[in-house]
Amino acid sequence: MTRRAIGVASLLLTAFMAGLLSVVLLAQVPPAGTRIVNSAAATYYFEGRRYRVVSNEAEVYVLPVYGISITPDGTESAPGMIQDLPPGATASFPYLLTNTGNADDRYSLTTVVGTHTFAPGDIHIVWDKNGNGLPDPGEPAITQTPLLKMGESIPLLVVYDVPVSARTGDYAFVDLQGISVADATKTDVQNVHEAVVTEAAAIRLTKSAIPVQVAWGGVVTWHIAGKNIGALTAHGVTTLVDGTPVTGIAVGDDIPAYADGNRYVAGSLSGVPVGTPMWSTDGGVTWTATEPSDPDTVNAIGYLFPDMEPGQEFSLTYKMRVKSPAGLLINEASAAYDSGGGNVRTVKANGSVFILNPDPVIGPWTYPLGDAPGDTYTSDSGLVMTRTDDLTETPYAYAGDTADFVNTIRNVGNITQPINVSLDPSTNLPAGYVVTFSYYGGGPLSDTNGDGIPDVGTVLPGQDVNIMVNVHVPLDAELGDNSGDHWNAVIRIAGAADPHLSDLTTDRIDEIRGYWRLHKQVDRDTARYGDLLTYTMTFKNASQYPIDNAQITDRLDHGLQQPEFITNGVINNENGAGSITVSASYSQTDHSITWDVTSPGGIVPPGFKGTLIVKARVVIEESELEHKLPVPMVRNFFSAIGDVTPPGGTTRHLFQVSNRVA
């Protein structure tokens, strides 16, 4: 390779990488007309409970901003592309124009001939619809692009004739320039290329993708074609293959974005005319003529073609499975040859494919791809959350409390769209649980696009949105770990553009624990007027914390007479050693019995279970009943209250059960 060829390769690579970067940055711009909804929220603690207040919503609509990018860039001192061309040849220089604004736009196109020693003839701009780098029949000459959406690109060719009178060493610099139709202040100039006249061999190389748009996970076929458009035979160069020197016109192509997961498809490399296929697993440092048994290790392919007489052509194809991020993927191939007299030349060609991926993803907080490593964080309410893969779990939550999970949504695709949030049917939370969604640090989610499903608003490609998932556990929730299945809120997200493309993450409570657990039973289901009923009431501190200032109450139905017996004094622990002392009192005003725990501190220890008994007779006449319809009955309400001090502060917990006798 000559020093000049090395410089050209560097310029081409730099220019196209810059073009790719501009597309990636563009994806962060909100489209014109986007409705951005914002609200503020404050969290505070009062008497040990966490409270959250939310402000009103503020709306902002994004105005149009226009922009244009043409790549590769170049100046006369550092042209973006250089081609060797014989006298009488047709020059064809590929460019890519991208709408870098946030609104639809068209662009006017012109060419400016700079310093030159030959005058390009019939210069025009072609819409390269198939992206193969050559003007084909049916591809129109244009002076203005069609309407391009935000982030959309169009491949262009600057095409002209080299006069037959041109001599070796003649040159011409040409600049492709563009201007926004919507905003004439937005232009792109200094996209200069150079055409150099040669009467030696000259390989023109092109590269294209089939199809030009491919879904993530799909397969694209790269097609690389070359033609000797020069006046002399193009000879091969020497390449070491399996350690042995082999001569041929050497075409090489790295698997683009190999580090991002793109992979060569086994058995797909072929060339015409037949030559020597080559594979590399070290980026082209060494080559082998035997395809590796594991195609995933192939990160570059090559082919050695025989000498090419003037006008002769060659081509190679290979397939690649696409796993790199969504967006425009630009790839560069090269061909090295001897143009005559031992002068080794290298020509390069760029091809591009647009990778489609509208899928949004959701995962644990800061791990939207579902690749959490098993680390922990503490939630706003003090719960310890563990993030593993696509699961966020807390070891326990208490009945009556709320578990506050945080999930991260990411738009990994290249479509700007609202993303809906809902509870997936695979959720196993029983009736009584309430799950709500809100912005983390903001207000509740709303339906911004009117499809009837709450969403996080418009999400840009690559943008992350954090949401809070509040799982409220009812007071009467079943305790335990749900027979090992745990308590799972499965969160489903889907892009509004295609609701079938969805993703799930799981927010799990391993175990439901309780503070008070109460049970009340009566010795019969039916009774006659004047019958004596015996109520047996058990209470338990089901938490791991002592309950202070405990008080237990049984409100009797007015269909019962004044109690004849009430448990009073020492209550033994049915779950082990120890006891507590209660003082019972009866109030005629509200017909209730209250047991105050008179042990020091009024404490019911963790795990303590005790039994209280009340005996009372049914009233003598129906007219004295409190509940007469639909059938005469008596109802009792049994409740317990006390102070619990887990992490986050002291809270007072009330629990109540009831029963009835007809």
CATH of the domain at 449: 2.60.40.10
Residue 50, domain member (yes or no)? no
- Reference 339, options 275, 249, 277; nearest CA is 249
CA atoms within 13 A on the CB side of 319: 11
The percent of residues above 70 in pLDDT, for the chain, comes to 84
CA distance 94 to 332: 13
Structural domains in the chain (count)? 4
Is residue 485 over pLDDT 90?
yes
Is 632 within a domain?
A: yes
Q: Is residue 439 domain-shared with residue 557, that is, in the same domain?
A: no
Starting at the edge strand found earlier in the chain, the sheet holding 609-617 runs 516-522, 532-541, 609-617, 565-566
Q: Residue 386 and residue 395: Cα distance in Å, rounded?
A: 9
pLDDT band, very low/low/confident/very high, at 166 (cuts 50, 70, 90): very high
- State residue 470's pLDDT score: 95
Note whether 159 and 12 are same-domain residues: yes
Do residues 164 and 234 share a domain? Answer: no
Write out the two tokens for 174.
Answer: 């040409």
Q: Residue 340 pLDDT more than 50?
A: yes
Task: Find the mean pLDDT for residues 168-178.
Answer: 96
- Give the pLDDT band of residue 309 (cuts 50, 70, 90): very high
Nearest Cα to 190, choosing from 107, 99, 114, 105? Answer: 114
Please check whether residues 112 and 139 belong to one and the same domain.
Answer: yes
Q: Domain range holding 631? A: 516-661
Between 544 and 75, name the one with better pLDDT: 75
Same domain? 490 vs 584: no
Asked if residue 34 is part of any domain, the answer here is: no
Same domain, 206 and 322: yes
Q: How do 192-197 and 81-85 pair as beta strands?
A: parallel
Q: Which of 298, 321, 356 is the last residue of a domain?
A: 356
648 assigned to some structural domain? yes
* Rounded Cα gap, residues 214 and 209, in angstroms: 10
Q: What pLDDT is attached to residue 50?
A: 46
Beta bridge partners of 540: 517, 609
The pLDDT value given to residue 244: 96
Reported as a single tens digit per residue, the pLDDT across 17-46 is 233 322 333 334 556 665 555 545 454 444
H/E/C letters for each residue in 387-425? EEECEEEECCEECCCEEEEEEEEEECCCCCEEEEEEECC
| CA angle 576–581–584, rounded 5-degree value | 130
Q: Which of 446, 478, 513 is the last residue of a domain?
A: 513
**pLDDT value at 68 more than 70:** yes
Tell whether pTM > 0.85: no
With respect to residue 57, please indicate whether it lies within any of the assigned structural domains: no
DSSP secondary structure string for all residues of 318-373: EEEE--SPSEEEEEEEEEEEE-STT-EEEEEEEEEEEEE---EEEEETT-TTS-EE
The two structure tokens encoding residue 129: 């619809």
Q: Domain holding 325: CATH number?
A: 2.60.40.1530
C-alpha 168/C-alpha 197 separation (Å) is 5
Do the bridges between strand 68-71 and strand 592-597 make them parallel or antiparallel, or are there none, so unpaired? unpaired
Residues 383 and 459 in one domain: yes
pLDDT exceeds 80 at position 242: yes
Are 453 and 530 part of one and the same domain? no
201 versus 2: the higher-pLDDT residue is 201
Give backbone dihedrals phi and psi of 3, rounded to 5 degrees, phi first. -60, -40
pLDDT over threshold 80, residue 641: no
Q: Are residues 548 and 491 in the same domain?
A: no
Measured between alpha carbons, how far is 299 from 279 in angstroms, rounded to an integer?
8
Segment holding 9, helix H or strand E: helix 3-26
Pair (184, 225) in one structural domain: no
CATH at 557: 2.60.40.740
In a domain, 52, yes or no: no
Q: So what's the pLDDT on residue 501?
A: 77
Task: Kindly state whether residue 651 falls inside one of the protein's structural domains.
Answer: yes
Q: Does 487 share its domain with 526?
A: no
Do 13 and 156 reside in the same domain of the chain? yes
- Does residue 624 sit within a domain? yes
pLDDT of residue 515: 75
Q: What tokens appear for 452 in the block?
A: 């009837």
Of 482, 513, 544, the last residue of a domain is: 513
Task: Using DSSP, state whether 4 is helix, strand or coil.
Answer: helix
